[in-house]
Amino acid sequence: MEGRPNQTVDDSPQHRRHGPATPSKQPVAPSNKVDTTSVSQRLQKELMSLMMIGGDLGVSAFPEGESIFAWIGTIMGGKGTAYEGLSYKLSLCFPADYPFKPPQVKFETMCFHPNVDQFGNICLDILQDKWSSAYDCRTILLSIQSLLGGRLPIVYELELCQRFCFCLTM
């Protein structure tokens, strides 16, 4: 009877057919579930930050009702602008994947500005394709306040004057 040669097991990665019996240290693919706890915590931190310094800047925001994902914000018109002395109410709806997606922000108070449509939707790059997870609610409100304080196109200024003058003559 011939003896078999002493066989050794080649356990090199090239010869392994199946994964090891112990768990792999490779990263696990992310699940599709959204961790709303971390989003809630971030929004609570942003709320605290706004409460501490927001009012001094002419902006404020608070959750509307019980949901931390729906806020009502207020922006005061900047000094030396056509909006000085005016107060604007906005709605902010934060998605479940915030801050990786921007919130939906809309004027609830009528605002006459070329970047705001008749329904209160705001055309602002940081609320669309230029969004960054580094932005927060305070940044959004200050950006909108700055948008209102920016130089309006001359054609729009003339149209505004004509509307205003027409209202005064009635």
DSSP state letters, 103-147: PEEEESS----TTB-TT-BB--GGGTTT--TT--HHHHHHHHHHH
Which of the four pLDDT bands, split at 50, 70 and 90, describes residue 19?
A: very low
Mean pLDDT throughout 34-39?
Answer: 84
Average pLDDT along the chain? 81
Which has more pLDDT, 8 or 43?
43
Which of the four pLDDT bands, split at 50, 70 and 90, describes residue 164?
A: low
Which has more pLDDT, 164 or 15?
164
Exactly one of 123, 137, 161, 167 is catalytic; name it.
123
> How many CA within 13 A on the CB side of residue 22?
1
Report whether pLDDT(12) > 80. no
In order of their start, the domains of the chain are 36-169 (3.10.110.10)
Which has more pLDDT, 77 or 158?
77
What is each CA distance from 55 to 48, 51, 131, 142, in whole angstroms?
12, 7, 24, 11
pLDDT computed for residue 152 by the predictor: 58
Report whether pLDDT(162) > 70. no
Give per-residue pLDDT as tens, 85-112.
Answer: 999 999 999 999 999 999 999 999 999 9
Report whether pLDDT(168) > 60. no
| Residue 167 appears among annotated catalytic residues | no
